[in-house]
Amino acid sequence: MSTRLRIFPLFVYSIPCLLLLSGTACQSVPQQPCQNASNCTETQDSPIESEPPSKREYVHADRADLDLAFKQSVQNISGADTMIMGIAFEDGSHWVSTHNTSNAEVSRESLFRIGSITKTILATNILMLVDRGELSLDMAISEWTPELNNANEITIRMLLNHTSGLPNYSATRRFQEIVLSDPNFSHTFESLTEIILETPNEFAPGVEHAYSNTNYIVLGHILEQVENKSWFKSCDDNIFDTLRLESFQIDHDGAPDALLPGYSDALSGMLENVRDAYSGSWAGAAGQLIANTDDLLAFFQDHFVGKLLLTESSQSEQINYSPQSQNSYGLGTIAIPFGSTMGTGHNGNIFGYCSFAAANPTTGVSVVLFDNTCSPDSNNVLIDVLSAAELL
């Protein structure tokens, strides 16, 4: 077993080398939290049943120039199998194009494991609870997870921006041995906590920055205790239903039919389709979401460009990048270079599925790229297509 052990690239973030433009954010009026229970559609004491939101319809942007740029760029990617790229424009339209060399059916409705982009969504949900007065960024986590080392000193903010010092469970030898021996093992918060407690903290809370999936596993657990529902149900109620994003779902055991194949050599040492090879439970609130291109574009566009979910204060907090991270990581967000200025986004990397999503409030666009072979050259596709769209 030890000869096969490797450091898995689970949900690792890096800053894409995009040469994009950005700048001053649009000053839309943010949605305010409900202050009067009598005006709320749902209260904790007396829930009111309502009709499910209607399916969101997207206006498709017909851009032959972008289709051509995408096709030509992907052809230069060695070993590329399936790629999907989309751009949400300020007028509300979406351009989406697909590339596929296998027999899989691929469309804008196809589902993709988005890995650590889950963190941006979870962080947004946490900030919605802050806006409602149910949480504070500077609250110690000992109220919910007293068993964790330094719980009295670690705050919710430190979990969000990876300055807690908690060890990264997915980088531990024990976790990787479990994954290799039983990829379909159903992980829980309790089973992951056992691994976390076996590993010393990396540094004192707030002193440094180290990306750790543990932080978001803990945040998901806190969210469940505060909301008295699963972290996914909380995100579904607060975000997905609000924005009418139907494709978002949790990666349960047993992949949905519309989930695209993904190719990785991490489990067996040979490149293989790992679509049905592992349980998504090991990612939890750190990276367990699945979505399609249009809905992921809509989340970034509505949230970071339209500013429909948070108050102005929380919106600013989310893109307040910590000095410990050399000003590159905020609250579930990564500073994305858009030419001489910055946008915001995140990437995801989970066996066989690499994804990227970002928003540029200045030009009013958001962008998504899915790649099921995790090519190191996929960033070139982003640059080529955005150049063709005159967004660079």
**Is residue 50 in a domain?**
no
Which residues, at least 6 apart from 75, have a Cβ–Cβ distance to it below 8 Å? none
**Is residue 23 in a domain?**
yes
Which residues, at least 6 apart from 288, have a Cβ–Cβ distance to it below 8 Å? 118, 232, 250, 251, 280, 281
Q: Residue 36: its pLDDT value, please?
A: 33
Own/partner contacts of 339-344, CB < 8 Å, gap of 24 or more, are 339/19, 339/20, 339/21, 339/22, 339/392, 340/21, 341/21, 341/22, 341/23, 342/22, 343/20, 343/22, 343/304, 344/304, 344/318, 344/319
**Is residue 46 in a domain?**
no
> For 252-262, what is each residue's pLDDT tens digit?
767 888 999 99
Residue 96 structural domain: 2-31+55-388
Lowest mean pLDDT among 16-20, 57-61, 230-234, 325-329: 16-20
Average pLDDT rounded to a whole number, residues 347-355: 95
Q: What angle do CA 183, 186, 187 make, to 5 degrees?
A: 100
DSSP string, 252-284: -SS--TTBPP-EESTTTSS-EE-TTSS-GGGTG
C-beta neighbour count of 229 within 10 angstroms: 14
Q: Residue 53: its pLDDT value, please?
A: 57
Which residues, at least 6 apart from 194, have a Cβ–Cβ distance to it below 8 Å? none
Tokens 């993904």 sit at which residue?
262
**Is residue 121 in a domain?**
yes
| pLDDT for 14 beyond 70 | no
| pLDDT for 54 beyond 80 | no
| pLDDT for 5 beyond 90 | no
> For 140-183, what is each residue's pLDDT tens digit?
999 999 999 999 999 999 999 999 999 999 999 999 999 888 88
Q: Are 245 and 239 in contact (CB under 8 A)?
A: yes
Q: Residue 333: its pLDDT value, please?
A: 98
**Is residue 273 in a domain?**
yes
Q: Residue 41: its pLDDT value, please?
A: 32
Q: What angle do CA 109, 110, 113 make, to 5 degrees?
A: 130
> For 97-153, what is each residue's pLDDT tens digit?
999 988 778 999 999 999 999 999 999 999 999 999 999 999 999 999 999 999 999
| pLDDT for 27 beyond 70 | no
**Is residue 61 in a domain?**
yes
| pLDDT for 69 beyond 50 | yes
| DSSP code, position 39 | G
| pLDDT for 21 beyond 50 | no
Whole-number average pLDDT of the chain: 86
Q: Residue 194: its pLDDT value, please?
A: 94
Average pLDDT rounded to a whole number, residues 29-50: 33
DSSP string, 214-250: HHHHHHHHHHHHHHTS-HHHHHIIIIIHHHT--S-EE
| DSSP code, position 111 | B
C-alpha distances (whole Å) from 59 to each of 52, 89, 93, 94, 292 are 22, 10, 5, 6, 15
In the chain, DSSP assigns E strands to: 59-60, 82-88, 93-100, 112-113, 249-250, 263-264, 272-273, 289-291, 334-338, 341-350, 353-360, 365-371
**Is residue 78 in a domain?**
yes
> 181: domain CATH number?
3.40.710.10
Q: Residue 79: its pLDDT value, please?
A: 86
Which residues, at least 6 apart from 353, have a Cβ–Cβ distance to it below 8 Å? 112, 113, 114, 115, 262, 370, 372, 374
How many helical (H) and strand (E) elements, i.e. helices and strands, does the chain have?
A: 11, 12
**Is residue 39 in a domain?**
no
C-beta neighbour count of 190 within 10 angstroms: 8
Share of the chain above pLDDT 90, in %: 72
Query: Structural domain tally of the chain?
Result: 1
The pLDDT-based confidence of 51 (bands split at 50, 70, 90) is low
Share of the chain above pLDDT 70, in %: 85
